[in-house]
Amino acid sequence: MINYFRKTALITGGAGFIGSHLCDRLINDGYSVLCVDNYFTGSRDSIAHLLESDHFETLRHDITFPLYVEVDEIWNLACPASPIHYQRDPVQTTKVSIMGAINMLGLAKRLGCKIFQASTSEVYGDPEVHPQVESYTGNVNPIGPRSCYDEGKRCAETLFFDYKRKHNLEIRVARIFNTYGPRMHPADGRVVSNFIIQALKNEPITLYGDGMQTRSFCYIDDLVDGFIKLMNNDEGFQGPLNLGNPGEFTVRELAETIVELTNSKSDLVRRPLPEDDPQKRRPDISLAREKIGWEPKIPLEEGLKKTIVYFEELVRQGCERCS
């Protein structure tokens, strides 16, 4: 029986890695979901299991163009998030971050509804403060190859808070740190997916630089739980809020752990470090603990095992994107 009193959530980028998991969670929590995606990096495979649901629908749309729908809340996740993808068309990346935010904020203003922005730890650039706290304003190169994403997301945050101040819009802004899990794009160039696929195929694992740069890795279920708690917090805390796992590992440590978990014969090989690649990345989540009572629960090794199972199946099927 259809529940006509369900709230309807619009999720832009809903066919992406994080977006598809958010679709799952909201439907399980009693929402109807409108998934909007232009499939630049999203995949229909990620949402195929939802297509038979009475409470799920999809719309192919690029949010750099206005969208006219009736919903109860908006989750703005649309934007390519890995360097390989966002540098493929840097102008479009900037446009979806800024024009997409303007269009979604305009829709939220018209509807008078709450809106969530998926921002990023990349707003901190190559940080001079470690771990990164929300009050740190960052060290970002405005004209480098990563700037389309970094500065696009920084400008989107500006727009969200200006709409809050000028139009009293109810906003939520989360700064996402490295996240991993099933449904990651196998060709997104990120360390977790790269290392797992290389290890499963017994190919050399590529370390950029000396592998001593650090990252923090948050499992997807923990991140989505943080999203929900931020969006629904009773005190109306709007952010920006760091969401990530404060455990810090070198990229080399990650590679060695994946080799061990996959029983791989892969060797580690070094490649030049990309321009503006951050040397350190770890969230201070004190504010998340205080404001929304959130912290991640899934240890890295446990999350990696679940992610490896997903990629094992892709490799077994001969996934073209895994080559």
Question: Active-site positions?
Answer: 149
Q: In terms of DSSP bridges, do strands 114-120 and 171-176 run parallel, antiparallel, or are they unpaired? A: parallel
Query: CA 280, CA 301: separation in Å to the nearest integer?
Result: 21
CA atoms within 13 A on the CB side of 64: 12
Residue 274: C-alpha distances to residues 84, 144, 277, 308 (Å): 11, 11, 6, 26
Q: State how far the alpha carbon of 152 is from the alpha carbons of 24, 60, 156, 157, in Å.
A: 28, 22, 6, 9
Identify the residue whose tokens are 């499992």. 219
> What string of DSSP letters covers 112-141?
T-EEEEEEEGGGGBS-SSSSB-TT---B--
Q: Helix axis angle, 191-200 relative to 300-316, nearest 10°? A: 60
Dihedral in degrees, nearest 10, Cα atoms 192, 197, 198, 200: 120
Closest among 140, 106, 114, 116 to 126, alpha carbons compared: 140
